Structure 1
Amino acid sequence: MSPRPVRIGVQIAPQHSSYATIRDTLREIEDLGVDIAFNWDHFYPLSGDPDGTHFEGWSMLAAWAEQTSRIEFGPLVTCNSYRNPDLLADMARTVDHISAKDGTGRLVFGIGSGWFERDYQEYGYEFGTAGQRLDALSEDLPRIEARLASVNPAPTRHIPVLIGGGGEKKTLRIVAQHADIWHTFSDAATLEHKLGVLHEWCEKVGRDPAAIEISTGVDVAGAALTAEEGANLDASRALGASLFTLGISGPDIDLGGVRALVKWRDEQNG
């Protein structure tokens, strides 16, 4: 089987910027040829001033669906704990339809179990333990799948499910059962090990691991890749990663790293 082509994602953090800046940044990265735009599903900044400017993710995704015409987009990742799973599925289906300019939607449904305690405390959700949150994700994903199969109108396509995290006892089992894309922040050595565990889970649940796209977060500082940055990308690519995502944030958004990654993608894909 031929390797998947390289794709580039950019996570625009919905923090420390006006919405106008976020909107304009999305337009710029779509024009640059980025494959997927992500935001995140939190209620407060994750870096910088903890009480700085911040916007809610799913409302933003609906606007992105209307604004864009080519780029895929989604949350990296939505928190399973913040919404009833049937409601969440219906939200995803609706955003999918909003984005379907040519009849096919472009939402990538990123989901995880949640981890940012302040979100839970401030908005009145029970934080619990990491294990409890993962168990809830495992229980809710079949409900989400069932709701997506029953809504009228149906989604315009199979909405790709992206699951983030690398826990070997629970998370990678959930990935093997439900994910179209697995997202990790691992270096190459860790990625190689985690892939071995994921393949074991795929065998146990009867899933072909080749059906799961491998996604990884990357750090690129400038408009030209350093030798170390290029080597890290090449190492992850050699292990089968095909989606490489760079995070950018206000207040001073720099697209130099985005341009470097797009250039590298085009060289890889020939």
Structure 2
Amino acid sequence: MTATSFGILTAPQQVAYADVLRVWEEADEVPEIEHAWLFDHLLPIGGDPDGPILEGWTLLSALAARTRRMRLGVMVTSNRIRPPALLAKIATTVDHVSGGRLDLGIGAGSRPSVPWARREYEAHGLPYHDFGDSVAALDEACTVIERLWTADAPFDHHGEHVQLTGAWGNPKPVQRPRPPILIGGRASATLRVVARHADLWNIPGGDLADAVERSALLDRYCAEIGREPAEITRSIFLPVAYDDPGATRDAAAAAVEAGFSHLVLGLPAPWPPGVARWVADEVVTPSRAAGAVG
């Protein structure tokens, strides 16, 4: 049975750098919290739409330098925002800054039907293609990133979405052969990319029955290409309510029972003092003590 791990996600919107840093430094001293995550948006998706928001990868590198133990990542970075070869270089740098603690979280990007998503892309002059195109681009991006991390010589890549000449990754990531790749999403097309490339798959919570159905579909896609489904750790996002930790404990127990062993607890801002210790004491430890999670 896969061991269960608990992590936190702190969305860097409507907050200051000092706020995020405080929570991550606190969490790094709490062994029950094994990983920590940011998200990848350029304009707020909650609260004041014109409020402050920090860029995910720059912030992640700063936090990597100020922590020593937790694994860390962006859940999930949008493949629409940065060319994959550039993303591979950024991720390699964070892996070095962190001493080899990076999980690369990546996804196709939000669907065109989501109004706030289109707004943030248009505001930054970024292309916003249809979802089918973005999933195909994600598949190719993962191929390019993996090759940059592992190739022993410069190479060219002339694909449908990525054109590279003399591509070369040096230095390589600290983690060998490469950092783990976490792909987020629930669409069937995305799950085919997960089956080909991912070490972890994350679904953003919601209806657990749907998550179970999506996980079974991923199993089938793995079988189609001859991959063992158990090679892909199942991850789920669970929101935390400070006034009702029991609801999160119940959700965690149900998720683990359903086969999800990588649990990401979303901590809403503003973050109370000692929130990392609180979530360990009120959610993680009771869940383990009850035998619901391993």
Determine if the TM-score, normalized by the shorter chain, exceeds 0.5.
Answer: yes
**CA 204–69 in structure 1, closer or farther in 2 if over 3 Å, else same:** same
Which amino acid in the other structure matches residue 23 of structure 1? L
Query: Quick check: which one's helix share is greater?
Result: 1
The 5-angstrom pairing of residues 138-157 of structure 1 reads 138-150=139-151, 151-157=169-175
3-state secondary structure, aligned to 2:251: helix
3-state secondary structure, aligned to 1:81: coil
The answer to whether the Cα contact below 8 Å between 1:183 and 1:217 also exists between their aligned partners in 2 is yes
Which amino acid in the other structure matches residue 250 of structure 2? A
Asked if 1:23 is matched to 2:18, the reply is no
Candidates 236, 239, 243, aligned match of 1:219: 239
Which amino acid in the other structure matches residue 202 of structure 1? C
- Distance in 1, matches of 2:224 and 2:287, equals 34
The answer to whether the Cα contact below 8 Å between 2:249 and 2:283 also exists between their aligned partners in 1 is no
Task: Describe the superposition over 1:197-228 as per-residue Cα deviations: whole angstroms up to 9, x where unpaired.
Answer: 011100111111101111101133237742x5
Task: Give the structure 2 partner of residue 187 of structure 1.
Answer: 207
- Distance in 2, matches of 1:249 and 1:19, equals 15
The answer to whether the Cα contact below 8 Å between 2:240 and 2:266 also exists between their aligned partners in 1 is no
The answer to whether the Cα contact below 8 Å between 1:222 and 1:260 also exists between their aligned partners in 2 is no
- Distance in 2, matches of 1:259 and 1:85, equals 39
Task: Give the structure 1 partner of residue 132 of structure 2.
Answer: 131
Structure 1 residue 94, shift from structure 2 partner: 1.1
Task: Describe the superposition over 1:150-197 as per-residue Cα deviations: whole angstroms up to 9, x where unpaired.
Answer: 3222211120111111112x1110111111110012433112211110
- Distance in 2, matches of 1:53 and 1:250, equals 13
- Distance in 2, matches of 1:230 and 1:240, equals 16
Task: Describe the superposition over 1:69-91 as per-residue Cα deviations: whole angstroms up to 9, x where unpaired.
Answer: 00011000111111111111111
5+ residue gaps in structure 1?
none
Which amino acid in the other structure matches residue 119 of structure 1? E
Instruction: Give the % identical residues.
Output: 35
Q: CA RMSD in A?
A: 1.8
- Distance in 1, matches of 2:5 and 2:244, equals 18
- Distance in 1, matches of 2:17 and 2:216, equals 41
Asked if 1:7 is matched to 2:5, the reply is yes
TM-score by length of 1: 0.91
The 5-angstrom pairing of residues 1-270 of structure 1 reads 3-33=1-31, 34-100=33-99, 105-115=100-110, 116-150=117-151, 151-157=169-175, 158-168=178-188, 170-184=189-203, 185-222=205-242, 225-226=245-246, 228-253=247-272, 255=275, 256-264=278-286, 266-267=288-289, 268=291
- Distance in 1, matches of 2:139 and 2:57, equals 21
- Distance in 1, matches of 2:83 and 2:15, equals 29
Structure 1 residue 260, shift from structure 2 partner: 2.2
Larger displacement relative to structure 2 (108-117 or 240-249)? 240-249
The answer to whether the Cα contact below 8 Å between 1:45 and 1:54 also exists between their aligned partners in 2 is yes
TM-score by length of 2: 0.84
5+ residue gaps in structure 2?
111-116, 152-168
The answer to whether the Cα contact below 8 Å between 1:16 and 1:249 also exists between their aligned partners in 2 is no
Which amino acid in the other structure matches residue 134 of structure 1? V
Aligned residues between the structures: 262
The answer to whether the Cα contact below 8 Å between 1:163 and 1:183 also exists between their aligned partners in 2 is yes
Which amino acid in the other structure matches residue 28 of structure 1? E
- Distance in 1, matches of 2:59 and 2:254, equals 34
Structure 1 residue 98, shift from structure 2 partner: 1.0
Structure 1 residue 230, shift from structure 2 partner: 3.3
Structure 1 residue 118, shift from structure 2 partner: 1.8
